[in-house]
Structure 1
């Protein structure tokens, strides 16, 4: 599905391109790196679940690629990093998360992502009216700043979405916190505010997104 087709179906959402100047406060397009090897592995070796989303923060095969080595030294300044993937059938906002470090998302398929500013969280609440939707085209990598709230990608095709994720090592790793549902911190270096609709399925996430849980439709009869 093309972006223009998607916009016609989703008139309730203003979908911008990442070349829009407004994106600069959230992140930037990553250039000068060849992600072909990483993209090929994710396309050929990682499944898209029939329902939901599967996220693997660290995959040895991806961390053995040449681009990973270059990113470690030149892009992240020898900070320890990890490379994984996230594939799924998601089409809703559901929640917004952030990390205390920047991350790179490599779009293996066309996708839509909801993003906002960390500074707009007030007393553990975020007004969904402030969120923005951006289109990331297949094959493009973007850096997401640590001050940016971001959702899981939303699919643009019936077959779901695939993306690679490069982040500081340990991000999204398991943590041992009792009564974790009381906090925005849900895993290592990962803070999340969820919509109440989503927490009906994932009660450990803190409710904080106020307003309608936005959905990206890929067919007119979905509404």
Structure 2
């Protein structure tokens, strides 16, 4: 995490200004002309080797660069509920810039509607709770790995639009979803694996890290990075090169 946070600071000091200008140019109307499926191999840098700019391309990464076969796709047979078919539909058929919430008009033949409804329900439920109760503490409990449970206050100053509130909630929900996998329990409970939630504001080019101490997302900048590193080092004192992998749930 030390390397990642320092990377965010370097981003702020170098290419952030140019990227923010690109974000401003396309605003809410990106027109991507390609969708690329690639392996999650850390050596693969698709946006670099294609020299893609903001809004140019959808990128879907997974283990092994695999896309499920769907010979029975259609309204009267099983629809593949995987991220890859959902991404294909989003890129080819809908051309949207993002997904906000569960679909209101559900299409039984739509992989994307199935994907979002099945996997986004808890995030939308928490958003409704946040909107109803206001900026109060919300509990995120992990039954499989209790040590990973935490509390969070989403947008305590109530300044973010609804879609950004949902986006932050969704990041934290993914942390709990990661913890639900039994094969990770021994790594999480022994401290060999740590998970962190980051959120990116695409309009301002700001990276945020969820602070379990402060129970909220904190912008990563020159004024906060020292305290954030101190919190991480107090919670995860072992050197990261001996401590194992780091899992992320990041959204924009």
With structure 2 as the length reference, what TM-score do the two structures score?
A: 0.27
Q: As a proportion of its length, which structure holds more strand?
A: 1
Query: Which structure has the highest helix share of the two?
Result: 2
